[in-house]
């Protein structure tokens, strides 16, 4: 897959998540959050009003610290694809 194709697939997956109206499971959201932040090189600190949520987000980011931007995009795409494929 070329870089351009990867970017298109990644944006399609992001759009699919943003267009979805039902709530996602919390653990799924944390993984999406971490992969999205890594894929977009957004290293801003979590900014929830609740410290516990910031802690979970920071932990999720820590878990993806050693993967590349492209690998994060691929993982994000896989998460979204599998979620919509296997959800009830």
What is the model's pLDDT at position 8? Answer: 97
User: pLDDT category, 18, cuts 50, 70, 90?
Assistant: very high
Determine the Cα–Cα distance for residues 61 and 42; give it in Å rounded to an integer: 10
Q: What is the pLDDT of residues 30-71, one digit of tens each?
A: 999 999 999 999 877 777 788 898 899 989 999 999 999 999
Write the CATH number of the domain with boundaries 3-86: 1.20.80.10
User: pLDDT category, 4, cuts 50, 70, 90?
Assistant: very high
Q: What is the pTM of this model?
A: 0.90
Q: Are 39 and 76 in contact (CB under 8 A)?
A: yes
């Amino acid at each position: 897959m070329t870089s351009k194709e990867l970017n298109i697939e990644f944006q399609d997956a992001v759009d699919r998540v943003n267009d979805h109206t039902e709530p996602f499971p919390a653990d799924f959201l944390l993984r999406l959050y971490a992969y999205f932040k890594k894929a977009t090189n957004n290293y801003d600190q979590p900014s929830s009003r609740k410290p516990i949520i910031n802690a979970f987000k920071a932990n999720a980011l820590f878990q993806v610290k050693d993967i590349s931007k492209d690998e994060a995009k691929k993982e994000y795409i896989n998460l979204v694809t599998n979620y919509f494929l296997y959800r009830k």
